[in-house]
Amino acid sequence: MPTGYVRVGAATPSIKVADCAHNAQSILGLMKNAADEGVHILCLPELCVTGYTCGDLFLQKTLLDSAEEALSFLVSESGNFPLVTVLGMPLSIDANLYNAAAVFADGKLLGFVPKSHIPNYNEFYELRHFKPAPGETLFIHGVIGIDGTVPFGTKLLFAPMDKDAPSGLRFAVEICEDLWVPIPPSSGHALAGANLILNLSASNELVGKAQYRKSLAAAQSARLLCAYVYANAGHGESSTDMVFAGHNLICENGVTLAESKPFAESESFVISDVDLESLESDRRRVNTFSDSYARGQKDYTTISFDLPSLKLSGSNLKLKRFVDPHPFVPDDDTEKSARCEAILDMQSAGLQKRLDHTGGAAIIGISGGLDSSLALLVTVRALKKLAHPTGVTAVTMPCFGTTERTKSNAIRLCEALNVECREIDITESVRAHLRDIGHSEDDKSVVYENAQARVRTLVLMDIANQSGGIVVGTGDLSELALGWSTYNGDHMSMYAPNAGVPKTLVRHIVSHVAGTSAPALRAVLEDILATPVSPELLPPSGNDILQQTEDIVGPYELHDFFLYHALRRTRTPRAVYALALCAFAESGAYKPDVILSWLKVFYRRFFAQQFKRSCMPDGPKIGSVSLSPRGDWRMPSDASAAAWLNELDTLG
């Protein structure tokens, strides 16, 4: 398992109402199953030791004694399992009865968390039986026959002392009402430092409630930048007046990682690995958390526990969550189409504003490749929205490396879009320039290649001056990350609508447009999609493109994966590599040594090419990863990549 992850589980035991001995055995079975699955922290439902629906039986000492006996048994048995268990039970303290969560591990009772909000309406009658939590943390003695004191209160943080615990794991516990009240207690827990919230619940089922519950849990995890585990009552609860579905959830930063089907036939048990290291990184980005930990923790008691057998990181367990090999591209076709449309709208809105401001035409270099095709599609869409319509001029500039296929596709695309297309052959201009600087045309070095790119930009800029227009850039986010552009060549424009779109998504957007277009436009876009990605700066072999970008800098699906996890998730090179192994294991597309090799290329190029990003043109931010130097990515152009590359060198 990559570092920074903790395996959590939410389970619903199959119970018998008021039969604590039976329920304890059912819970013990879940603890064993969880340990076998490598779960570190197991969350069980509210009052699951007795059953939530005991009614006035909660006032019977026989039931309360039986519940304490069941807990005592489970605490003693927990010494056999390397995990923390959190479960719900009634707890009698003096003359008060509380709806509480017991937290225990390694044969030790770590603390009790009473329910902080007790609903007062006819459906549940909880105030009839239970007292709301006290305002302060207490230390109670002689609980369930165990010597010593046990902390009791709502403001408890649990933190393992294991030095391998990732990113300072701190979890807090809440019971049921957290999702249904105006000020959720978990908000205070998070501001005090908790990055994992466990919610023990007994939420009855109603039509439509499962989706509502799921949306609340996911939203709270996003709001708090935390992992949120929700365990719900289910099979065995009394059905006198309501039913319980065992709907369990594990959410992280707005995403539902695991969910049990309501009314599953057997025990509902979901497991996932939550990425606490990434969550802590996200919290460092925002001021909400940076100033609150010290203040919030003054009111909290931290319960440190030592569980040597609990290895929270560095284990050989296979990561138990889906790692998307294409993090920028939705899997669902409907969602993918919606995202493509949203991106096209954002790109065209940005360009529309710039064209409204300048009042001139749009000038764009069109090569017959993916990026320039997308830029032209965006430009045409933007022009339709202009308050004062202007024109677009597409310019194709064949030279040494241009193939008939790409040149033909550039012209056909313009025709299908009813756009003016100018063909300007720059071959003689480039040859004259090479003679001027004393560079042999036989020397196919970077000078030979970049001369073509810079002459093309010169042509576009001068045409823009002629028409009073602006040059629309074509480069995408992946090229910016790798520095795959010629400085002051295709690197430069007056507005860059593709700057926030990664290459893997460029392909899907163009494909989306193709699928919704008339036959002529669809045909040319489909051929463009089938054409190898190439800068076409070296002479082809006949009509075959020999200079293919992904052979030189590596597969874009790998680089986009690296880009997402290195920047958006701020993972270490070691973690990015481990995640890539997980993501591409099923397809077998890349061997480990290939992934490692291209990851080194990514870091070398990302650091070495920052100078190009430091003066990149304006362009709209599209997703959560942006490399604009004006707000999203501020990095010295001469920063060293040594620490990142040294870490990768230790991997092989």
Strands 301-305 and 156-160: parallel
Query: What single-letter amino acid sits at 339?
Result: R
- Each residue's pLDDT tens digit, 3-17: 788 999 999 999 999
Catalytic residue (choose from 43, 46, 280, 536): 46
* pLDDT for res 162: 66
Distance separating alpha carbons of residues 263 and 266, to the nearest angstrom: 8
46 noted as active-site residue: yes
Tell me, yes or no, if the pTM score tops 0.85.
yes
Q: Is a pLDDT exceeding 50 seen at residue 314?
A: no
pLDDT, tens only, 102-153: 999 999 999 999 998 665 544 456 778 888 888 889 888 877 766 678 999 9
Ranges of each domain in the chain: 5-305, 333-649
For 464-514, what is each residue's pLDDT tens digit?
999 999 999 999 999 999 999 999 999 999 999 999 999 999 999 999 999
Residue 385 clears pLDDT 90, i.e. is over it: no
| Euclidean distance between CA atoms 175 and 179, whole angstroms | 9
176 is catalytic: yes
Q: What are phi and psi for residue 143, nearest 5 degrees?
A: -70, 135
CA nearest neighbour of 414 among 397, 398, 392, 385 = 392
- Specify the pLDDT at position 541: 74
Q: Could you report the per-residue pLDDT of 77-90, keeping only the tens digit for each?
A: 999 999 999 999 99
> Is the pLDDT assigned to residue 219 strictly greater than 60?
yes
| DSSP secondary structure letters along 527-579 | HHHHSPP----S--BTTB----HHHHT--HHHHHHHHIIIIIS---HHHHHHH
The per-residue DSSP string of 102-133 comes to EEEETTEEEEEEE-S----STTT-HHHH-PPP
- Is 68 a known active-site residue? no
Catalytic annotation, pick one of 20, 176, 226, 251 = 176
Contact 509, 486 (CB under 8 A): no
Give the percent of the chain with pLDDT over 70: 94
Strand (E) or helix (H) holding 302: strand 301-305
Q: How far apart are the first and last CA of the chain?
A: 18
Give the per-residue pLDDT at 292: 62
Fold classified for 333-649: Rossmann fold (3.40.50)
Radius of gyration of the chain (CA): 30
Same fold, 5-305 and 333-649: no
pLDDT value, residue 259: 95
* pLDDT number for residue 166: 53
pLDDT band at residue 545, thresholds of 50, 70 and 90?
confident
Minimal CA–CA distance to 115: which of 202, 212, 182, 41?
Answer: 202
Torsion of CA 507, 512, 514, 517, to 10 degrees: -160
Contact of 303 with 156, CB cutoff 8 Å: yes
pLDDT on residue 141 = 82
Per-residue pLDDT at 452 exceeds 90: yes
Which listed residue (48, 54, 68, 115) is catalytic? Answer: 115
Q: Please tell me which residue, 576 or 128, carries the higher pLDDT value.
A: 576
| 5-305: CATH architecture | 4-Layer Sandwich (3.60)
pLDDT classification of 620: cutoffs 50, 70, 90: very high
Cα–Cα distance for residue pair 286/628, rounded to 1 Å: 19
**What confidence score (pLDDT) does residue 160 get?**
87
For 167-186, give the DSSP string.
Answer: T---EEEEESGGGTSSS-HH
User: Per-residue pLDDT averaged across 571-582, rounded?
Assistant: 94
Average pLDDT over residues 24-36: 96
- Predicted pLDDT of residue 146: 67
Q: Can you tell me the mean pLDDT for 555-584? A: 95
